[in-house]
Every structure is written in structure tokens, then in C-alpha cells.
Structure 1
């Protein structure tokens, strides 16, 4: 039995390490492409070469390439390789890229989220259908069950997106979606920081209960308190750019995962 437990713990650490490594490599290549450091039309190194360059497995590299392809940053030509697409062909140049060009800080992102998500949750509490409540419940359950920080961050993002969808306002949902990449990076840090479990602060279960009870005032108050927590717990990271904070934190998590391995 102890042997089986050790093996499972090893698998969890390995999965966590792979997820974080995927995030780091994808962020680096996305930055290089958007900044023009890898020119449009250029062929990326082969999977084997990228794996050697970043010290990753080829499975991790394949996941990175799938993500870049989904973002319309590269085009994969079977048998020929992966090529960087013309930036003009990337839909709207992506609001995410426009935000990052301004180097927004963690504090500024939290301020934006408070303004946006407190309004979103008020509408969602009034308008959510049974199916939309079920989607929120599913995301909340996935977050509570997740062991890996990357899985937790994705489930967290799904929860907030489900609330935005339930608002019934596509403009607000698109506005929130446009900052989802930076939100995800904040969530990676939040879900690996014990201070985020500060007692008395409403988290997803309490927020969902307020929505389910159709208590608009309580839902809005809980969302504000939930988001404001970051202003007390992020410390010196508050005034770092989101990009710098995310890069530093992913490197820290990778070092910790290696140390435990």
C-alpha cells in the first residue's frame, strides 16, 4: 500500500510539473511571436529541438503547439512542421496582447475585475437558468476536487465564465473573456498561496450559494470581498506587471515541484 501511495504522489507531482512547464513554454513562445522576435512565416524548431531547448518532454511540446495553433499564432503543416502565422490574420490582434503591451499590474487587474464582475454577478443572480446554475455547480465541484494547481486555475476560470454567461449580457461576457489569460495567471498564484484561504472570506461555494438563493445584494458583496482579498495577500506582487508576476511565480512553482520530486 505505501508503495502504491508513493507512486500516486509521484504521478501527481509529475502531472503538476508538466502543467506548469507547458504554461511556461507556451507563454515564452507566445511572447516571442507577438513581439516579432520570431518572424511571421518562420518555421519553428522541430518537436525534438524544442524539447531539448526547454528541457521538456515531446508530449509537453505537443501540448504547447496545440495551444499556439488554437490561438491562431501558428499553423501546423503535417509532414512540414509548424509555421508562425501573419499577425494580421490573428483575430483582432487579441485584446490580451493589447492589454499586455500596456504592462498592467496585478493591482490594476484586480481593480478591473471588481468593477466588471460585481456587475456581472448581480445580473447572473437575477437571470441564471437551471442549466446555467448547473454549469456553475459543476465548475465549483471541479475546483474543490482538483489536486493540481493548473487544474484548479482552469476550474476557477470556468466558474467565473459560467457566471458571466448567466448574466445574459454577451458584451460583459466578452469583456471578461478578454482578460481571462491574465486572470488565469493570477489564479495560478492564488491557488498555490495559503493566504488565499483567509478565514471569513467568501469563496466559490459561498458565492454560488448566494446566486442559487437569488440574493443579489449578498452575491455582489461576496464577489467584491472575494476579489478584494488579493489586495491584502499579494504583497509586493501587487505592483508588478501581470507578466512579470506570472513568470516569476511559475518558475518558483517549477523549482518547488522539482525539489519535491
Structure 2
């Protein structure tokens, strides 16, 4: 089994990028908020100045933060014009959501398989905590979309492959925006099914069963696709 060894785990820079990205996508660092200073991050994280500066450069390249010279680094308003936010109309938003889920199918199924082979006990524990939070939220709660995405981002993180992680982090705002704009992809009626689907993904990861992880992820995303397609059909009527 292809298990990751400590020297192959995420670099300190990548870990810092992922942690800050998760905080931004979860709303813990809202648009306009100022990030901790370089000195504070160095002290709290025990990393070098080079690590912090490289992480800030990555976040800037991904359009998540901007540095104002002499003032500090701030979280960018992800709803500004020009970003991929989907149509302003519900129908357009739903169609955009379909396209995004198709993209996720091509990316996350294989990521789940790799994550099953490489996930560490610490990563699985963090994922378990995120999953418990997601399962406790109401289906129509806006926060549930963000926490659900955090679970999927953690799966990408378990791959130890910076390309999977960067891809998920980079399109995270679009994934969240179009699903929210299209309307809840998860209704109260579908909630139990979604919770079960996520638990199946986690169980496969915990068993380090790559094929089961791929199958569970594929089923979860296909069902999500069908739910959104149903919303499109209702809107068209």
C-alpha cells in the first residue's frame, strides 16, 4: 500500500497555504479582514519568514488575499466582479453548478483513491471532526456548503499532491458560489442520504480502500449532479 512517509508530507509552506485557505473559505477570515502579521504567524506556527512569504505569494496568486504596502495583507472580496461566480440568475447559477460538479467528478474521484492510500491518522482525525460538524448543520444552512467543501479539501490534502490541493483551493470559491446561487443542492429530504454518502467516503478512507473511496466519491458527486439537474428542470418549467 502506498502510504506517505513524513518526508513526503506537505511542506510547511503548503500546509500554511491550505490552513489559511480553509479559514478564508469557511468565513473565519471574511472578506476585508486583515491577516495576522508575518511576525505573529512565525511565532504561532514556528515557521521561517521565507515560509510565510512564500505562502502569502501563493494566496495572492490564487486571488484570495492582497497586500497593501505599509498596511498589511487582507482577504479579498471573492464576490467582486470578474470572478467566476456564475450567472446572476437562478437558472444560470444552476447550469453553472452542473458544470462545476462535472469538473469535480474528473478531479475528486481519483483524489479520493490516492487519499485512501496516503491518509495519516492525524489527517483522518481532522477529517472526522469536520465531518461531524458538517453532519450537525441544517441542510439549508449556508454554512453547511462551506463545511462540506472543507471536508472535500481535506481529502485533496490527504493526497500529499500539491497539484490536487492547489486545484481544489483555487476553484473553491467558485464551487461554493455556484452551488449557493443555484439554491441548496441538499434539501431536508435528501439530508440523510448525503450524510450517509459522506460517511461511506470517510469509511473507505479510514480503511485505506482506494477502490471503495473512488466508488463512494463518484456516487456522492453523481447524486449531487442529479439533485442540481432536478433543480434546473424545475426552474425551466
TM-score range, shorter chain: 0.5 to 0.7
Q: 1:225 to 1:101 in 2, by over 3 A?
A: closer
- Which has a greater percent of helix? 1
Aligned length: 164
Q: 1:116 aligns with which of 104, 107, 119?
A: 107
Q: TM-score, normalised by structure 2?
A: 0.56
Q: 1:160 to 1:197 in 2, by over 3 A?
A: same
Q: Name the residue aligned to 2:143.
A: 151
Q: Name the residue aligned to 2:125.
A: 134
Unaligned runs of 5+ in 2: 1-28, 35-59
* Stretches (4+) displaced over 4 A: 73-78, 96-104, 198-202, 236-239
Q: Distance in 2 between matches of 1:106 and 1:213?
A: 31
Written as runs of structure 1 = structure 2, the 5 A alignment for 1:203-214 is 203-214=197-208
Written as runs of structure 1 = structure 2, the 5 A alignment for 1:1-261 is 64-66=31-33, 71-72=64-65, 99=84, 105-147=96-138, 149-186=141-178, 188=180, 189-190=183-184, 193-197=187-191, 199=193, 202-235=196-229, 237-238=231-232
Superimposed CA distance per residue, residues 140-162 of structure 1 (whole angstroms, 9 cap, x where no aligned partner):
01112234713322221111111
Give the alignment's Cα RMSD to 1 decimal.
4.0
Q: TM-score, normalised by structure 1?
A: 0.51
